[in-house]
Amino acid sequence: MDFFVGHFNYWVIITLMMTGLYVVISTGNLVKKLVGIGLFQTSVFQLYISLSKVRGAQPPILEKLPKYGSAEKTSQTVTELTATIPQVTALDPASVYDPLMGVVYSNPLPHVLILTAIVVGVATLAVGLALVVRIREAYGTIEEDAIDEAEYKIEVNAS
Amino acid sequence: MEMSFPIDIFVIIDLILISMLLVVGIAIVRLNNLFVIVMLYGVYSLLAATWFVSLDAVDVAFTEAAVGAGISTVLMLGAMLLTSRESKPTTPIRRWTSLLIVLVTGIALIYATFDMPAFGDPNSPANSYVGLMYLKATITDISVPNVVTAILASYRGFDTFGEVVVVLTAGLGVMLILGIDSRRSRSGEVENKDAIAKEANTKNKPEKINALNHHIVLQVVAKMLIPIIILYALYVHFHGDYGPGGGFQAGVIFASAIILYSLIFGMDQTRRAIPPKLVQFGSALGVLIYGGTGIITILMGGKFLDYNMLDQNDTIHAQHMGILMIEVGVLVTVASVMLSIYYGFAGRYRQLKDQNW
């Protein structure tokens, strides 16, 4: 049971990923193919984000922060903090000193990677769609086999 | 493994969202009507965004909701209108072959997950070293509550610069393929046969039936909504240090406000309000602001994008300043590129009438 609850997210994500892959392989329609790529892409995002989840944690937005603003208090708190963190402890999960003050946060690093990947994803999707639009203008169809036929005709006529 | 995962409310929410994702995914596989497929893709993105919230990734959820459910759906609808409404059903041979390939790949991938750390494990390699280090260091180095923004804009600012350049490049690609301002084709050579056919059809109707400008209710509601959407985009942008949000999300929301305007009031009016030249200029300007911030820090004696140089007496202030500057660059580029892509598609479809839907 523990194993199932600990791994079901991967299995679901792989199922979704394969759904996307199936759409890409099985259909000859270029717009539907791009939708399939979108499904595949989203499932990769889900894989990364589910890796960053920490049980019982909260989103990586810090709750307690030394107040920034009024001069001496800030500098004091900051120097205090920097003085008490030896350089190594940041890398050592078992270190005694905890600047997070006991609050557990999910891992922010995959969030950053995926956030930018989503925006880049839509930009590249737009390039794909633009190509599909041009293909339609040139061949009058967006079905793979019909495009192949049209290409073949052009080649036969040329030779 | 000392976990006994309690079947609490969050697990139930996760399971419900996941099953909805699966249902939508399978529906997309089985359907052939492209309009329905594209709308379901928007639903899928929104569900994915909801699941991201449940997985604590609020920034990602925000982006996915704005980009996946918003802009991508609009772009796909645009492409669908320009191409076709139906996809041909696949042949049985092809269907079974792809099912076989997918099954084999899926089983191989599932076999690989047996070694993966358990879901939500706080001691997994991914969660215990670098991620934890960023969380702890943000407090003293940068002192902004949203650690995602801190990493995005400061620690990994160079990577984000790369992403912004990729977005600009993709925008340039669309501009090259489709052209940003299709007015040229209106004056002289018409590029495709469809446009000629459309021209012939509409010749007997001299007044432009552009967009939905005979829908009074839509117009009034949109007029009230658009300023609020733009205000919200600015809030998301400037509040990105403190809560979920930032330049990427704000840029997309800003662009969607303009897209709403053009859907209701037509492309001609939108072109007058925001000329394509301005959009082109903006795409490059954002990257220039971002890169320029890096050059300024070099000139002040630091390394590229080393914000501490901006104010050597108060490095936290310097970090905040640097983050704000590059986020402005991200906002300008993302908003302009999204708009230029939209202009590219919308310029091809000159007249959008009710019966097209």
Residue A91 is assigned to a structural domain of this protein:
no
Confidence check: pLDDT of A81 > 70: no
In this structure, are B78 and B177 located in the same domain?
Answer: no
> Distance (Å, rounded) from C-alpha B76 to C-alpha A103?
42
Residue A32 is assigned to a structural domain of this protein:
yes
Structure tokens at B19: 């099953």
Question: pLDDT-based confidence at A132, cuts 50/70/90?
Answer: very high
Give the residue from B116, B146, B177 where a domain finishes.
Answer: B116
Give the residue from B99, B116, B133 where a domain finishes.
Answer: B116
- The 3-state DSSP class for residue B50 equals helix
Residue A37 is assigned to a structural domain of this protein:
yes
Q: Cβ–Cβ of A26/B170 closer than 8 Å? A: no
Q: Cβ–Cβ of A130/B21 closer than 8 Å? A: no
Q: How far is CA B21 from CA A82, B27, B28, B40, B340, in A?
A: 45, 10, 11, 10, 31
Give the residue from B116, B132, B151 where a domain finishes.
Answer: B116
pLDDT at B268: 83
Q: How far is CA B306 from CA B16, B19, B142, in A?
A: 45, 45, 12
CB nearest A65 (choices: B145, B191, B252): B145
Domain containing A123 equals 1-54+106-159
Instruction: Output the DSSP codes for B139-156.
Output: HHHT--SBHHHHIIIIIT
Contacts of B12 in chain A (CB under 8 A): none
Q: What CATH number corresponds to the domain at position A122? A: 1.10.287.3510
> Is the separation of the CB atoms in B190 and B199 below 8 Å?
yes
> Is the separation of the CB atoms in B306 and B319 below 8 Å?
no
Q: Cβ–Cβ of A136/B119 closer than 8 Å? A: no
pLDDT string in tens for chain B (357-residue length): 445 555 678 788 888 999 999 999 999 999 999 999 999 999 999 999 999 999 999 999 999 999 988 899 999 998 888 888 888 888 899 999 999 999 999 999 999 998 888 888 888 888 888 888 888 888 888 888 899 999 999 999 999 999 999 999 999 999 999 887 655 444 444 444 455 455 445 444 434 445 565 778 888 999 999 999 999 999 999 998 888 888 999 999 999 999 999 888 888 888 899 999 999 999 999 999 999 999 999 999 888 988 888 888 888 889 999 999 999 999 999 999 999 999 988 888 655 555 555
* Total count of domains within chain B: 2
pLDDT in tens, A34-55: 999 999 999 999 999 999 988 8
Mean residue pLDDT across chain A: 81
> Distance (Å, rounded) from C-alpha B96 to C-alpha B104?
12
Q: Give B244: exposed, middle or buried? Use CB within 10 Å, 0-12, 13-18, 19+.
A: buried
Residue B311: left if φ>0, alpha if ψ -120 to 50, beta else—which one? Answer: beta
Residue A40 is assigned to a structural domain of this protein:
yes
pLDDT at B127: 84
Scanning every residue of chain A, which has its alpha carbon at the shortest distance from the alpha carbon of B110? A11
- The 3-state DSSP class for residue A136 equals helix
* Total count of domains within chain A: 1
In this structure, are B188 and B334 located in the same domain?
Answer: yes
Q: Cβ–Cβ of A21/B102 closer than 8 Å? A: yes
